[in-house]
Amino acid sequence: YGLYASFAGSFVYAVMGTCPQINIGPTALLSLLTFTYTNGTNPEFAILLCFIGGIIQLIAGIVQLGFLVEFVSLPVVSGFTSAAAITIASSQIKGLFGLKFSAETFISTWGGVFHHIGQTRLEDTLLGLSCCIVLMGMK
């Protein structure tokens, strides 16, 4: 239901929303990838990356390459989804524990978490975990 879920939020917000600039949908992974490739550069590079991605999608739509998705097997989609979840969770773990250190890669993030675990801020951790519990309970 991923495609339908990404469309439903946008549709509901288009009808009932109050801010036309807000982006509703599955954007966390794309934001992380954009940050990874444009970190330390001018903002124009992020804009260029988005523009090139849009051009590629437009060309793929014009030549009707959507049928290629049928050849992607369920295990590949499942693996991609799991990897995306791990990547997103890893990018947020530092904030969940209230840790302050510099890390840009997956390995350095987890190494920093284990190295600085003694500096965990209890308030941040309790708030983050309670929010996670509420979200899982509402699921």
Amino acid at site 95? G
Q: Is 27 helix (H, G, I), strand (E, B) or coil?
A: coil
Question: Is 45 within the bounds of a domain?
Answer: yes
Mean pLDDT value across residues 67-86: 89
Do residues 58 and 116 share a domain?
no
Q: How confident is the model at residue 43 (pLDDT cuts 50, 70, 90)?
A: confident
Question: Is 35 within the bounds of a domain?
Answer: no
Residues 99 and 113: beta-carbon distance below 8 Å: yes
C-beta neighbour count of 77 within 10 angstroms = 12
What is the value of pTM for the model shown?
0.62
Do residues 60 and 90 share a domain?
no
Q: How many domains does the chain have?
A: 3
Amino acid at site 52? I
Question: Is 115 within the bounds of a domain?
Answer: yes
The boundaries of the domain holding residue 51 are: 40-71
Average pLDDT, the chain: 84
| Torsion sign, CA atoms 30, 31, 36, 41 | positive
User: What is the rounded distance in angstroms from the CA atom of residue 60 to the CA atom of residue 65?
Assistant: 5
Question: Is 55 within the bounds of a domain?
Answer: yes
Spatial neighbors of 50 by CB under 8 A, at least 6 apart, are 34
Q: How confident is the model at residue 40 (pLDDT cuts 50, 70, 90)?
A: confident
Question: Is 118 within the bounds of a domain?
Answer: yes
